[in-house]
Amino acid sequence: MKIEAIALREIHMKLKAPFETSFGTVQNRRILLVEVVADGASGWGEVTAGETPAYNAETTDTAWHVISDFIAPSVVGKSVAEASELPPLMARIRGHEMAKSGVENALWDAAAQLKGVPLYKLLGGTMQEIACGVSLGIRENPQSLVERVEEELRSGYQRIKLKIKPGKDYAFVAAVRKEFPDIRLSVDANSAYSLDDAAHLKKLDEFGLLMMEQPLDWDDIHIHAKLQAQMQTAICLDECIHNTRHALTAIELESCRIINIKLGRVSGHTEARLMQEMCRKRDVPVWCGGMLESGIGRAHNIAMSTLPGFTLPGDVSASQRYWSEDIIEPGVAVTAKGTIRVSNTPGLGYAVRRDRIEKLTVRRSNWDARHAASEEMSTVRTESC
Ligand code: OSB
Ligand code: MG
């Protein structure tokens, strides 16, 4: 496959409701979409960076910079046999996993189309239907949270995850657990606590949670081992894990018993696939996390979730929970039993609504190997606002 062109664009999409985590509230998403043209096929990827560097170090703007100034110039015009050969071409760029993921995943989509197979099959996915959970933002009071949980359960979701932070934790989880004693329930702190809070966090053991996600420092695997040793509840790492080596470190140190895999955070399908395989060999369950994605990122999450290591419900939920109008067609739909049936059409499995994307676009940049201007300049870059 020759990478003939890359188109990068920023689109603005407004979430139906503000989403609050321990690190902030977001409603107006600034999403980067990457379109990679390879051998005439056009594949799409999404950069899942946030608007601020509050979840991890990347932002919409750092990803724009890194793709524009480093990734696109080094990959446009290159040829690879498989999409999994793209990461070595980006290996000299340290970090910036979400920027890399947007480009790599777009190439996977193009590769699947060129082969005439659904992306999930190209990745080695084995499930035709995946289990879905929801992630609920922090609420004003426990009662309004209980009402939200009730709604999501009525829609069929198989697991409820509650965002927590100091002062908005014990009473909220207690209220939900009292109302729904048997549901699969978990919490996500997004690094809001320190080891000094261990006694407080241990109180949550009484609620029989499926897991507690990333309670401590975003970049400290070791410190989670100290907490896990004191807690019954399984710790799940999210922010700390950027590659398979990190996941192995966490498993060997017993820092967690479950791992959340997010395509952006781990730099794309190639690394995600390796990570789930390593975890599976060690009997560590993994699940697919979400980053409030548009339909394009969501379709990639669905494809990844069909791999055999993904044994727990993911934060992969219906388009209509997030957007009044998604950029794929049909929107992602969840069945009454809380599953998504995987599409068997080639590529992403959903049609990309270019017309809607066009209307939402606020800036774009293109690199094209076919119109190379000179020998030194292997690509031509055009930019417009
Ligand atoms: O920690 O999983 C997280 C959203 C933004 C940043 C981090 C996280 C989340 C979510 C939402 O939990 C998951 C989703 O519904 O996409
Ligand atoms: Mg998380």
Kindly report the backbone phi and psi dihedral angles of residue 359, in degrees, each rounded to the nearest multiple of 5, phi listed first: -70, -30
Tens-place pLDDT, residues 145-180: 999 999 999 999 999 999 999 999 999 999 999 999
Residue listed under structure tokens 């110039």: 73
- Reply yes or no on whether the pLDDT at 200 is more than 80: yes
Task: Kindly state if the Cβ of 125 falls inside 6 Å of ligand 1.
Answer: no
User: Which residues have a Cβ under 8 Å from the Cβ of 234 and sit 6 or more positions away?
Assistant: 210, 211, 212, 228, 256, 257, 258
Residue nearest ligand 1's atom 5 by CA: 291
Task: Kindly state if the Cβ of 86 falls inside 6 Å of ligand 1.
Answer: no
**Among 221, 280, 220, which residue's Cα sits nearest to residue 250?**
221
User: What is the Å distance from ligand 2's center to 162 Cα?
Assistant: 10
Tens-place pLDDT, residues 288-341: 999 999 999 999 999 999 999 999 999 999 999 999 999 999 999 999 999 999
Q: What pLDDT does residue 370 have?
A: 73
- Reply yes or no on whether the pLDDT at 376 is more than 90: no
Respond yes or no: is residue 262 known to be catalytic: yes
Q: Compute the distance between CA of residue 300 and CA of residue 281 in angstroms, rounded to an integer.
A: 24
Tens-place pLDDT, residues 248-282: 999 999 999 999 999 999 999 999 999 999 999 99
Q: What pLDDT does residue 127 have?
A: 98
**Among 119, 124, 209, 208, which residue's Cα sits nearest to residue 162?**
209
Kindly report the backbone phi and psi dihedral angles of residue 350, in degrees, each rounded to the nearest multiple of 5, phi listed first: -135, 150
**Among 49, 61, 55, which residue's Cα sits nearest to residue 24?**
55
Q: Compute the distance between CA of residue 315 and CA of residue 292 in angstroms, rounded to an integer.
A: 9
Task: Kindly state if the Cβ of 46 falls inside 6 Å of ligand 1.
Answer: no
Q: What pLDDT does residue 116 have?
A: 98
* Strand, helix or coil for residue 106: helix
**Comparison of pLDDT for 202 and 378, the residue scoring more:** 202
Residue nearest ligand 1's atom 8 by CA: 291
**Which numbered ligand comes closest to the C-alpha of 298?**
1
Half-sphere exposure of 94 (CA within 13 A, CB side): 1
235-237 and 258-261 strand pairing:
parallel
Q: What pLDDT does residue 383 have?
A: 63
From the CA of 188, give the closest atom in ligand 1: 1
**Full 3-state SS string of 311-350:** CCCECCCCHHHHCCCCCEECCCCCCCCCEEECCCCCECCC
Catalytic hit among 262, 281, 337, 359: 262
User: What is the Å distance from ligand 2's center to 322 Cα?
Assistant: 17
Tens-place pLDDT, residues 69-83: 999 999 999 999 999
User: What is the Å distance from ligand 1's center to 292 Cα?
Assistant: 6
Q: Is the peptide bond before 330 cis (omega within 30 degrees of 0)?
A: yes
Residue nearest ligand 1's atom 14 by CA: 290
Task: Kindly state if the Cβ of 238 falls inside 6 Å of ligand 1.
Answer: yes
How confident is residue 380, by pLDDT bands cut at 50, 70 and 90?
Answer: low
User: Which residues have a Cβ under 8 Å from the Cβ of 35 and sit 6 or more positions away?
Assistant: 6, 7, 8, 9, 42, 43, 44, 45, 106
Tens-place pLDDT, residues 92-139: 999 999 999 999 999 999 999 999 999 999 999 999 999 999 999 999
**Among 99, 98, 100, which residue's Cα sits nearest to residue 89?**
100
Q: Compute the distance between CA of residue 65 and CA of residue 278 in angstroms, rounded to an integer.
A: 32
**Which numbered ligand comes closest to the C-alpha of 318?**
1
- Among 21, 98, 260, 319, name the best residue to mutate to test ligand 1's pocket (greatest count of ligand atoms within 8 A of Cβ): 21
- Among 23, 165, 187, 291, name the best residue to mutate to test ligand 1's pocket (greatest count of ligand atoms within 8 A of Cβ): 291
Q: What pLDDT does residue 379 have?
A: 54
Q: What pLDDT does residue 384 have?
A: 61
Give 366's strand partners.
Answer: 7, 382
- Reply yes or no on whether the pLDDT at 377 is more than 90: no
**Among 230, 269, 246, which residue's Cα sits nearest to residue 108?**
269
Catalytic hit among 100, 161, 163, 168: 163
- Among 315, 319, 326, name the best residue to mutate to test ligand 1's pocket (greatest count of ligand atoms within 8 A of Cβ): 315
Residue nearest ligand 1's atom 6 by CA: 291
Task: Kindly state if the Cβ of 266 falls inside 6 Å of ligand 1.
Answer: no
Respond yes or no: is residue 100 known to be catalytic: no
User: Which residues have a Cβ under 8 Å from the Cβ of 196 and sit 6 or more positions away?
Assistant: none
pLDDT averaged over every residue in the chain: 96
**Which numbered ligand comes closest to the C-alpha of 51?**
1
**Which numbered ligand comes closest to the C-alpha of 133?**
1
Name the helix (H) or strand (E) containing 13: strand 3-21
Task: Kindly state if the Cβ of 133 falls inside 6 Å of ligand 1.
Answer: no
Tens-place pLDDT, residues 332-374: 999 999 999 999 999 999 999 999 999 999 999 999 997 653 3
